[in-house]
Amino acid sequence: MAKILLDVNVLLDAFLGRQENAKKLIDELVKTDHDLFITSSMILILDYFLNKYGADKKKFKDIFFSRFKIITTTGYEGLKAFEYKDTEKALIFLSFKRAVGKGIIITSDKSFEADGLKILTPEEALTSPEIFSNLSNELLPMLDLKKEYHYSIEEIDHVVLKNIAEAKYILGPEVKELEEKIAQYIGVKHCIGCSSGTEALVLSLRALAIKLKKQEYFDKADEIITTPFTFTATGDAILRSGATPVFVDIDLDTYTIDPEKIREYLSQNPKVVGIIPVHLYGHPANMDEIMEIAMENNLFVVEDVAQAFGSRWSGKKLGSIGTTGCFSFFPSKNLGGFGDGGMVSTNDDELAEISRMLIKHGGKDKYNVDHVGYNARLDTLQAAIILAKFDIIDDFNERRRKIAKLYTEGLKEIQWLKTPIEKEKAYHVFHQYTILLKDKNRDELQENLKQKGISTMVYYPYPLHKMKVFINNGMKVHGDLQNSEYAAKNVLSLPIEPLYDEEVIYKVIKGLSER
């Protein structure tokens, strides 16, 4: 997946019919999954010739920019460009290099300086193995965040520069806009932006302690049930809220908490105050059962939706079913920012009000506070970036589902692995596509796939009840947690990048099938 910049001379040669090689090259390039660019400094030149030869500019914009992306040229690059003999070309390669790191410039002008970038003529490009060979030496990553940035580069560069210029860095209008948009999207009354998904969990639990117990933290005697097969933040948030985490086992079909195990534990333990189901890998936990249990036992439910933005259970968006929902905008998440970020969703006015206080040091007035608070606001800049990406989240989730379908179809004949399922009431957003190995050495398989240029990851190699932090801080466990331990030893996540095309996914399927 190369990053390629096409010089104006090549584009004009192709479009105005003067050079067959240029035309052939572009027709071939647009069929690949390479990222194709021009720079904003090239727009004026392109526009001059569009006008001169009477092009329909609106249609040109629709067609051309459906495949080509525009890299912003900055003032700094303008200053640097003066150090070069040809400022116009320097502007192009300086901004291209900054935006992509390593890339190829295709130009008819052989005098193009390129400061370490690869320069090819259209003729050379047509026979370049780097561009047209299927045998890429690069390791296929689990996720390609650079590719995702390039997909939305114009919007993101714009909102970042605008946001910097507006200087409303703390709780600027974009934070409120994002909160309102997501509240509407999920179908809840309130969303509160915060500094991370982990903080969203802590805020939810702290707000619940303040509301329900009229005290800052839960007591150690208060128990909160969750799954041990999750990221450490879920259990850690329980400890930070003052309560005791109780780990109950998962259902191996969905890797989410098993409601029957919750019932079993509750039948003998009256000190439970709440449940944190984790919608792991993007698949919902069984929310019908969990909400029924919560109602019967007067428990709160804090949904850990960190991996499941846009996912649904019985048509309801996750984060709208429990007492609160906790979202993460960590960069690798389905809706990810360019740093840490999170959000709490709730229909409860009081919990929303307390959470808003807690993110700002614990008070409505930060100079006169009511609670032990945090400095845990969502940055305006992150909110602006997430807003730009929010418009494409449904499309990206659908792309993930399509990739998952290709995997499931392609891997169904392999006896030594189990592909993920989607329960009837679920809309799975496949934050991860995770297979379960049966009697297979996972380390060897990972190494073998790596040799074939395929990355894989294990989420998560250690269940929480095996970690010192929980052992040393008074956790409780229910039963032998054998499913969680089995999953921790045998799960393997495959690359799932919404912008990967079918060929990439077939490469992974082939890599697994050949073993």
* Cβ at position 402, least distance to another protein in Å: 14
CB under 8 A, 24+ apart: contacts of 231-234: 231/306, 231/459, 231/460, 232/464, 232/467, 232/469, 233/197, 233/198, 233/201, 233/306, 234/201, 234/276, 234/278, 234/304, 234/464
By the rule CB under 8 A, 76 interacts with another protein: no
31 vs 468, beta carbon nearer another protein: 31
402 vs 466, beta carbon nearer another protein: 402
14 vs 445, beta carbon nearer another protein: 14
Distance, C-alpha 328 to centroid of its chain: 9
* Cβ at position 18, least distance to another protein in Å: 7
Binding flags for another protein, 83-112, as an x/- string (CB under 8 A): --------------------------x---
- Burial per residue of 451-460, b for 16 or more beta-carbon CB atoms within 10 angstroms, e otherwise: eeebbbbbbb
* Cβ at position 25, least distance to another protein in Å: 9
- End-to-end distance of the chain based on CA atoms, in angstroms? 25
Cα–Cα distances (Å) from 198 to 287, 295, 326, 422, in that order, read 21, 26, 8, 26
By the rule CB under 8 A, 123 interacts with another protein: no
Q: Which tokens go with 438?
A: 């049966």
By the rule CB under 8 A, 295 interacts with another protein: no
Around Cβ 129, how many Cβ atoms within 10 Å? 9
CB 49 within 8 A of CB 18: no
Which residues within the stretch 318-337 sit at the binding site for another protein (CB under 8 A)? Answer: none
By the rule CB under 8 A, 133 interacts with another protein: no
Out of 30, 221, 295, 471, the only residue in the binding site for another protein (CB under 8 A) is: 30
* Cβ at position 3, least distance to another protein in Å: 18
* Cβ at position 428, least distance to another protein in Å: 22
By the rule CB under 8 A, 55 interacts with another protein: yes
113 vs 296, beta carbon nearer another protein: 113
| Binding piece for another protein, criterion CB under 8 A, among 7-15, 164-172, 313-321, 382-390 | 7-15
3-state SS of 86-106 is CHHHHHHHHHHHHHHCCCEEE
CB 175 within 8 A of CB 378: yes
| Binding piece for another protein, criterion CB under 8 A, among 6-14, 97-105, 209-217, 292-300 | 6-14
Distance CA 351, CA 205 (A): 10
Distance CA 469, CA 389 (A): 35
Interstrand relation of 426-427 and 324-328 (parallel, antiparallel or unpaired): unpaired
Binding flags for another protein, 457-486, as an x/- string (CB under 8 A): ------------------------------
* Cβ at position 67, least distance to another protein in Å: 7
* Cβ at position 503, least distance to another protein in Å: 14
* Cβ at position 31, least distance to another protein in Å: 5
By the rule CB under 8 A, 63 interacts with another protein: yes
* Cβ at position 87, least distance to another protein in Å: 12
By the rule CB under 8 A, 23 interacts with another protein: yes
By the rule CB under 8 A, 15 interacts with another protein: yes
By the rule CB under 8 A, 49 interacts with another protein: yes
Beta bridge partners of 170: 379
Distance CA 335, CA 389 (A): 7
By the rule CB under 8 A, 66 interacts with another protein: yes
* Cβ at position 90, least distance to another protein in Å: 14
29 vs 454, beta carbon nearer another protein: 29
Out of 2, 6, 8, 352, the only residue in the binding site for another protein (CB under 8 A) is: 8
By the rule CB under 8 A, 16 interacts with another protein: yes
Beta bridge partners of 324: 302, 346
CA-derived radius of gyration, the chain:
26
Which residues within the stretch 356-415 sit at the binding site for another protein (CB under 8 A)? Answer: none
By the rule CB under 8 A, 445 interacts with another protein: no
By the rule CB under 8 A, 45 interacts with another protein: yes
Around Cβ 218, how many Cβ atoms within 10 Å? 22
Which residues within the stretch 405-434 sit at the binding site for another protein (CB under 8 A)? Answer: none
53 vs 169, beta carbon nearer another protein: 53
The single-letter DSSP state of residue 242 is: T
- The number of residues that bind another protein (CB under 8 A) is 29
Count Cβ atoms within 10 A of the Cβ of residue 227 and give its class: 0-12 exposed, 13-18 middle, 19 or more buried.
Answer: buried
- Burial per residue of 388-397, b for 16 or more beta-carbon CB atoms within 10 angstroms, e otherwise: bbbebbeebb
By the rule CB under 8 A, 9 interacts with another protein: yes
Interstrand relation of 3-6 and 35-39 (parallel, antiparallel or unpaired): parallel
CB under 8 A, 24+ apart: contacts of 510-513: 511/448, 511/449, 511/452, 511/453, 511/454, 512/411, 512/414, 512/417, 512/449, 513/410, 513/411, 513/413, 513/414
Around Cβ 192, how many Cβ atoms within 10 Å? 29
By the rule CB under 8 A, 17 interacts with another protein: yes
Binding site for another protein (CB under 8 A): 8-9, 12-18, 23, 26-27, 30-31, 45, 48-50, 53-56, 59-60, 63-64, 66-67, 109
